[in-house]
Amino acid sequence: MTNDDVAVLLSRVALKDRSAFSLLYSRAGAKLFAICLRILKDRSDAEEALQDIFVKIWQRADSFAAGSASPMAWLTVIARYHCIDRLRARKPVGNSLDEAAEIADLSPDPEEVAVLHGEGKRIDTCMEQLDSDRARAVRHAYVEGLSYQELADQFGVPLNTMRTWLRRSLLKLRECLDT
């Protein structure tokens, strides 16, 4: 999706067009979610943050000035600042050593560590079954949050080819993990 497409969607959202808002969510949601997940490091917190961010976008779309900034940059800034505010709000205010000890006891027990380690190995094993370019593309898309267009540019392939790579790679991963 180009910046012009996002700018058009934002202008329609400013007019409270629900279908444009839905389309904006489907096109930009994954990238903004990746930003939330990278900052907050907690999936459920990132999901809640993404909902809050899209409420802000709905409320503030009319403040986007199309000529002054990139629309994706504008959306990204809203997401970043919202997540940073969430981090600041959730920092524990520890007044005693007892509270600090309780926080320290939240570490996973040995069984949880073993399960997580095993899952990580399964994912790594399945990723090794993909072609190296496909595996790198999957990591860049779903860990680093790069868009299809950014990936297509980086790998020097057409946009639809990149979409096909990712879709087929995810199907292979799902098949591998289900066995």
Tokens of 141: 């898309």
Break the chain into its structural domains and give their ranges: 3-90, 109-178
CATH 1.10.10.10 fits 109-178, yes or no: yes
* CATH architecture, range 3-90: Orthogonal Bundle (1.10)
Those residues whose C-beta lies under 8 Å from the C-beta of residue 19, and which sit 6 or more positions away, are none
Those residues whose C-beta lies under 8 Å from the C-beta of residue 126, and which sit 6 or more positions away, are 172, 173, 176, 177
pLDDT of residue 107: 58
pLDDT in tens, 83-122: 999 988 876 655 555 555 555 555 566 666 665 566 767 7
Residue with tokens 């799902």: 174
Residue with tokens 């400013």: 14
